[in-house]
Chains A and B, each alone.
Chain A
Amino acid sequence: MLQVKSLTKIYDGGVKALDNVSFEVPDGQFLAIIGLSGSGKSTLLRCINRLVEPTAGQILWNGEDITAASQDEMRRIRRRIGMVFQHFNLVHRSKVITNVLAGRLGYVNPAWSLMNRFPKEDIEKAIQKMKRVGIADKAYQRADELSGGQQQRVGIARALMQDPEMILADEPVASLDPVLAHSIMTHLEDINKKDGITVLCSLHFLDLVHRYAGRVVALNEGKLVFEGLPKDIDDKKFKDIYGRDAERVG
């Protein structure tokens, strides 16, 4: 169970990215986070693994206070939270397998990893995860030789390497075409259903939300404006989330 309580984030310039946001996510849920660009979706996801330090509020995960964790504790918490990014965030010049193995960095002993040595089990595991997302044949290619959809699958494999209990996906399909988007979302759904991993996924398109999400929270200018099931988003709610001028297209 992930509990977000009165979370507020004010950036250095005074921009209020999150304004007193509270919600809960039960284990094993597929939660979609929707909202316009700049509504605070990315900040919210990054506060959960503290890539962004929240200004106020609390995040509890299975009773553990993430916001109060020390650096050492944070390392242990982060390694159980996988993250998938809009721009994949792979290290372009490294091999695919190195990118995937990077997911183990929170577990392996730093001293060995600095010498680029990973335990055998980890390497086997990496190949297995790459097989699962269908890119095992690309293992020894450079990451930037892969197409966008393949790169995102590397990103997912990297997140899976962490043996995560939760995956944060920050607009994982926003840079991909619709066909690839569905394929990536299917992988995330598979992970959510088969492995019981909680998925928090920010999305743009409502049809993806209807198709994949179990529950939705919506942000507008940092405030939580909707929380509920995807089918409950009617026209009025839609205008609340996306503004008066918005038209439904999907």
Chain B
Amino acid sequence: MKNKNDRKASPWKSIKVGLASLLVMVILAYGFQITKINLEELRSKQRQESLIRVARALAKPDFFEYDQVEEVINAPLFVPCLTDGSLPAMPNQTASNPYLVITPACANPGDTIQVEGFNFASKASGPLRFVPGNDPNNVVTLGRVNVETDSTGYFIASMILPDRQSTDMQYIRASLRRNIGLPHLTQTAHDTWDKIIETVFLALLATVFGTILAIPLSFLAARNLMKPVKSPLISISLSALGWPIGIALGFLIVREVGDISNAIGSNIWINLASVVVSPMLIWLGMRWAIPPEEINPPHLPIRLARLGVLLLGVLVGFYGFFQLASLTKIVGMNLRGALGSFGFLGNFLFQVGNIVALLTPVLGGLVAGGALGSFLGRIGQQGSEKLSAKGLKTINLFLTSIAGATILTLLGLLINWLYQIGNPLYTLWGPMAVGGLLGILLAIFSEAKEALPIGMVIYFITRTILNALRSVEALIMAIVFVIAVGIGPFAGVLALGLHTIVSLAKLYSEQVESIMSGPLEAVQATGANRLQTIVYAVIPQIIPPYISYTMYRWDINVRMSTIIGFVGGGGIGFLLQQNINLLNYRGASAQMVAIAVVVASMDYISSVLREKTI
């Protein structure tokens, strides 16, 4: 009884409810006007007719057709009857040839005549037409009555004569068609098949690339992994300097390695030998340079030697990559010709070789950037533990200003490249000064030894970029990629792939955030470092949701890839749009059926796979 007062209906409350309902009404009314809801349109006869026509066409997807034969028979008549009363000659009435009998054989325009057909093929159908003029082969015809023969090849129909008077003989023409043989697939069905296969693979590739790249991103966008990542300022600025320098150095050096690899040649035996030998060298180097367990840290010379061996190993590794690329290209090129209809396997190898050759310098840049960044970061960490607070602050002033200047200068250069401002004051010196100043301010106002939450900064930046990119529809991305790589499925793969990366990274990161923290804690307590913790405590927990989300995304990608063709991104959408624009609704219907079948079966397959894996 406590709430008695709250429940009591007050006039004020009723007025509020009334006003709210009124407001809802007004909003809905406005919505009606904006969206032009008008049921009168439906009642117009013309619209109904076209709707029925389209609906009937859609109900008959253009998959199968028969080969047809056509029998064309003309029968003469006079319109109007001649004054002398003569009639056209009766056709030759034999038992085997098809012929028409017109009664009466002459009549006035507007009169109804009766046309009988004999000896046609059974179950044939087609139009009866009036052929004006004195030419039985005239293609111009008037009127149209559809007839169908019975099982003996006979039909009877009435026809109203058109107003076309002549003293010459005119004709009634029956063109009856019938199906022969078994039904076979139409050209549309073949095209649809080709394109639907393209669609499925477009979705598959986009999903594969998207998933591979989304996994590392999702760790950066997971709050529970990034929150404990904290570093002192000196470590952050050294690392921020190390990344771009490392990327540039790595890119240049690996490209140099690529040139060396090219100079050595694209001989298949050399390639093969290199591809076999370099992993073995790396393995040996790793076995020596990375001892399985180390109870006490080794001396400096040994550590330097190990570092050298590892660097060498990495270089050999990249050399191996280039050689592998060259090898697959050669093998692929040869297989393309030799394998005949399986030539696509050769093409695949060739393209993969190309991709590897193209991506290896980029990979080198990333590896070197990461290595240098984390190495300098560690040095910074150790420095901050050993140096005095005052000395650290001085070093920080210097390093942070350089790091800030570098970052903003790079940003400025990017902006200049995008917008072509061309004024170095705004895109080079300005950002440099601002970055330096920001760095100095940061160094002054932060505690020298305090660990800053750099993990959360990375987390927020990653999240922002992901959210921004995710809000761009894949269809719009496809428009951009069509310009970049031309019309075709490749543009679709890129657009869908990019959209997959950003949306999967977000979904994945939410899964990472919801894992159990217990195992994480336990693995950390054994002395595992951050990467080991991820591999031993995070990854085993996220595999099932990752698989399930990947399936789900593949599903979405199949559906998306059916319409990405509307903007030139390849796949079945292109065909569908073409047929809709050509008003070929039977063709469009075939493609829609294909899409429905593929989407439904994808749905089924992915649900079965999901059940199996989890």
Contacts and interface: CB of A to CB of B under 8 A. Distances in A.
Interface of A: 49, 51, 70-72, 74-79, 81-83, 85, 87-94, 98, 102-114, 116-119, 122, 155, 158, 161-162, 168
Nearest to B515: A91
A103 B526 contact: yes
B518 A109 contact: no
B77 interface: no
Given A93-B541, A108-B292, A51 B528 contact: no
Contact of B518 (A71, A89, A102, A108): A89
Interface string B507-544: 00000000000110111111111011001110011011
A162 B522 CA distance: 12
B382 interface: yes
Given A78-B525, A105-B526, 8 more contacts: A91-B540, A93-B541, A98-B536, A102-B522, A105-B527, A107-B293, A111-B290, A113-B536
A119 B293 contact: yes
Contacts of A119: 292-293
B582 interface: no
A162 B527 contact: yes
Contact of B523 (A77, A92, A102, A117): A102
B527 A76 contact: yes
Contacts of A82: 525-526
Contact of A85 (B291, B381, B518, B529): B518
A110 B534 CA distance: 12
Contacts of B72: none
B294 interface: yes
A117 B291 CA distance: 12
B447 interface: no
Contacts of A109: 290-294
Nearest to A71: B381
B286 interface: yes
A76 B296 CA distance: 9
A51 B523 contact: no
**Nearest 5 CB-CB pairings of A with B:** A106-B527, A79-B527, A89-B518, A105-B528, A89-B522
B487 to A, nearest CB: 43
A140 B321 CA distance: 36
B295 interface: yes
A114 B385 contact: no
Contacts, number: 109
Contacts of A49: 525
A77 B295 CA distance: 12
Contacts of A106: 526-528
Nearest to B385: A70
Interface of B: 286, 290-295, 381-382, 385, 518-519, 521-529, 531-532, 535-537, 540-541, 543-544
A51 B521 contact: yes
B536 A102 contact: yes
Contacts of B519: 89-92
Nearest to A164: B526
A105 B290 contact: no
Contacts of B536: 91, 94, 98, 102, 105, 113
Contacts of A51: 521, 524-525
A92 B518 CA distance: 11
B172 to A, nearest CB: 82
Scoring A72, A76, A89, A94 by chain B CB atoms within 10 A of each residue's CB, the highest score goes to A89
A91 B535 contact: no
B47 to A, nearest CB: 59
Given A93-B540, A111-B290, A85 B522 contact: yes
Given A114-B531, A114-B532, A79 B518 contact: no
Given A75-B527, A119-B293, A105 B518 contact: no
A77 B385 CA distance: 17
A71 B526 CA distance: 13
B351 to A, nearest CB: 29
Nearest to B381: A71
A145 to B, nearest CB: 14
A113 B525 contact: no
Contact of B521 (A85, A92, A93): A85
B523 A107 contact: no
Given A91-B540, A108-B292, A109-B292, A158 B521 contact: no
11 contacts: A49-B525, A85-B521, A89-B521, A89-B522, A90-B519, A91-B523, A93-B543, A94-B536, A102-B526, A106-B527, A107-B295
Contacts of A88: 518
Nearest to B542: A93
A72 B537 CA distance: 20
A112 B526 contact: no
A138 B115 CA distance: 91
A98 B532 CA distance: 13
Nearest to B386: A70
B532 A94 contact: no
Which has the most chain B C-beta neighbours within 10 Å: A88, A91, A109, A116?
Answer: A91
Contacts of A110: 529, 531-532
Nearest to A83: B525
Contact of B522 (A81, A83, A114, A116): A83
A89 B544 CA distance: 19
Contact of A114 (B524, B535, B541): B535
B292 to A, nearest CB: 4
B458 to A, nearest CB: 18
B526 A158 contact: yes
Nearest to A162: B526
Nearest to A109: B290
Contacts of B525: 49, 51, 78, 81-83, 168
A116 B292 CA distance: 12
A114 B385 CA distance: 28
A108 B293 contact: yes
A75 B533 CA distance: 12
A89 B524 CA distance: 11
B286 A111 contact: yes
Contacts of B382: 70, 72
A151 to B, nearest CB: 11
Nearest to A114: B535
A116 B452 CA distance: 32
A84 to B, nearest CB: 9
Contacts of A77: 527
A77 B519 CA distance: 19
B381 A70 contact: yes
B292 A94 contact: no
B518 A87 contact: yes
A87 B526 CA distance: 16
Contacts of B527: 74-79, 105-107, 162
A119 B382 CA distance: 30
A113 B535 contact: yes
Contacts of A85: 518, 521-522
Contacts of A107: 293-295, 527
A150 to B, nearest CB: 16
B248 to A, nearest CB: 25
A78 B526 contact: yes
A109 B291 CA distance: 7
A91 B532 CA distance: 13
A105 B522 contact: no
A78 B526 CA distance: 6
Residue from the set B292, B535, B544 with the largest chain A CB neighbour count within 10 Å: B292
A112 B525 CA distance: 19
B541 A91 contact: yes
Contacts of B526: 78-79, 82-83, 102-106, 158, 161-162
A70 B383 CA distance: 11
B290 A112 contact: yes
A104 B294 CA distance: 11
Contacts of B532: 105, 110, 113-114
A90 B536 CA distance: 10
